[in-house]
Amino acid sequence: MNTAPLAERMRPSTLDELTGQQQLTGKGSILRTAIENGKIPSMILWGPPGVGKTTIANIIAHSLKQSFYQLSAISAGVKEVREIIEIAKTKPGAILFIDEIHRFNKGQQDALLGAVEKGIITLIGATTENPSFEVNSALLSRCQVYILKALDKNDLNHLLQHAITGDTVLNKKNIELKETEALIRISGGDARKLLNLLDLVTDVMGDNAVITDEAVMEIAQQRIALYDKKGEQHYDIISAFIKSMRGSDPNGAVYWLARMIEAGEDVKFIARRMLIFASEDIGNANPNALLLATSTFQAVSMIGYPESRIILSQCAIYLATSSKSNASYLAIDEALAVVRKQGDLAVPLHLRNAPTKLMKQMDYGKDYQYAHNFENNFVLQQFLPAEIDGRAFYIPQKNSREEEIRKFLKERWKEKYQY
C-alpha cells in the first residue's frame, strides 16, 4: 500500500496535469514555451503556499531530463550550496531548486551569484515573499520572476474530485464528496493542505464515507495537528496575529507574536506584516503608526533575535491599541476600480505640463491656479477628469484624527465632495 501523503501521491508530473497557473503553463505561455524549447532561464517562483511552486520545479527537471538538486533555505547554508555548485560543474545544465529562498541571507545568496552568472547552474527559487525585498538585486537581475496566483474555488474543487477518482488508495473507498466548503476554508487555498486534510478525513471516516462540512469540521477540530506536520500553521498564526491587532487586542497580538518568535519566524517577515498593517488598518487615524512600524522593520533587520522580540512586542502593542481606519486602503482600491473600468481619462488641460511652445498654444497649463498664491494656500479648481469630477474616493472615518481631516476638507471643498 502507498503510504505517502495524498498530496505527494497526486503531485503532477507534467504541465498538463497541473491545476491552475494557466498564465504560466498554458499552451503558448512563456514558461511552457521555454520548457518545450529545452532551455529555461534562472527563475524565482513567487506565490502563496500550496499553489505549485515545487511541483513546477520538479516538472521542469523531469521535462528537461537534467540533473536536479534541491535545498531548503531553512536548513541549508553556504557549505551545502557550494558543495552542489562543485558537483554541478561536471553536470552541464544542472538545476538547483531552493525552497523558501527568501530565508537565505546575503552571504548565502552571494554564494549562488557566480554560479548563476557563469551558467554552472540554472537556479529555481521558490518564495512566498516579494522577491524585490528578499532577494539580492544582483541575483534577482539574473532571474526571471514568475508570479503564481492563488487557486480559486473551482481549482480546489477540481483537485478534490480528481483525488477521489484518480488516487489509487481513495478510488477504492467509494467516497461521496457531498460538501467541500469546510475542506477549502480550513486549508486556506493551499492545495497541499487541502489534499492532506482530505486524506485525514477519509482515513478517519473509512470506506463508503459521505463527506460533509459538519464531518470535516468535527474531525479537523479533533485532529488538526495531524495534517500540519511541516509547520503550515505559519500562515494561520500570522493571520491570527493581524486579526488580533485589527481587533485592538494587544494580549492576542502578543500571544501570537510569541508563538512566531518561539517557532523561529523570520523577524523581517513579522515586521513587514506590521508595516503593511500600519497603513492598511490604521492609516491616517494615526499616521505615527507607519513611522513606528518602519523604524521597527529597520531596527529588527539590524539586531535580530533575541533582543528584537522586545522591539516587535512594542510595535505590536502600539498598533493593537491605536485607532483604526482602512479609508486609505478603500480609497486606492476604489480609484483603481474606476481606472480599470473607465480607462485612461484625459488630464484636464489646466493640469497639463507645457514644456514646449506648441503645448502652450494648445492651452496646456492655461488657467491653472497656483494654490500658494491664495488665502490658506487653497483655491477651488478641478483636479479630476471631467467624467468623474466630484467623485470622492477617500472618505475619512470616525476617529479623532480623521474627523479633523473631514473638517478640513469640508471647509475647503464645501459641497463638491460628500464627506
Tell me the pLDDT tens digit for each residue of 364-411. 778 888 889 889 899 898 888 989 998 999 999 998 999 999 999 998
Return the CATH number at 262.
Answer: 1.20.272.10
Length of the chain in terms of residues written: 419
Residues 50 and 109 in one domain: yes
Q: Domain boundary residue among 102, 121, 147?
A: 147
Provide the pLDDT for residue 22. Answer: 85
* Strand pairing category for 68-72 and 95-99: parallel
Provide the pLDDT for residue 366. Answer: 81
DSSP string, 93-151: T-EEEEETGGGS-HHHHHHHHHHHHTTS-EEEEEESS-HHHHS-HHHHTTSEEEEPPPP
- CA pair distance 382, 391, nearest whole angstrom: 11
Tell me the pLDDT band of 229, cut-offs 50, 70 and 90.
very low
Q: Domain boundary residue among 171, 199, 227?
A: 227
pTM score above 0.75: no
Q: 304: Cβ–Cβ under 8 A, 6 or more apart, which residues?
A: 267
What is the rounded average pLDDT of the residues 314-340? 93
Q: Grid cell 481606519 — which residue?
A: 325
- CA pair distance 419, 406, nearest whole angstrom: 6
Say if residue 2's pLDDT is above 60. Answer: no
What is the rounded average pLDDT of the residues 250-272? 89
Q: For the chain, give the mean pLDDT.
A: 86
Residues 351 and 398 in one domain: yes
Provide the pLDDT for residue 331. Answer: 94
Supply the range of the domain harboring residue 280: 234-320
In a domain, 66, yes or no: yes
Handedness of CA 57, 58, 61, 67 (dihedral sign): positive
In a domain, 39, yes or no: yes
Most confidently modeled of 165-174, 265-274, 285-294? 285-294
Per-residue pLDDT of 342-352, as tens digits, reads 888 888 888 88
Say if residue 326's pLDDT is above 90. Answer: yes
Provide the pLDDT for residue 64. Answer: 87
Q: Which of 347, 340, 354, 344 has the alpha carbon at shortest distance from 385?
A: 347
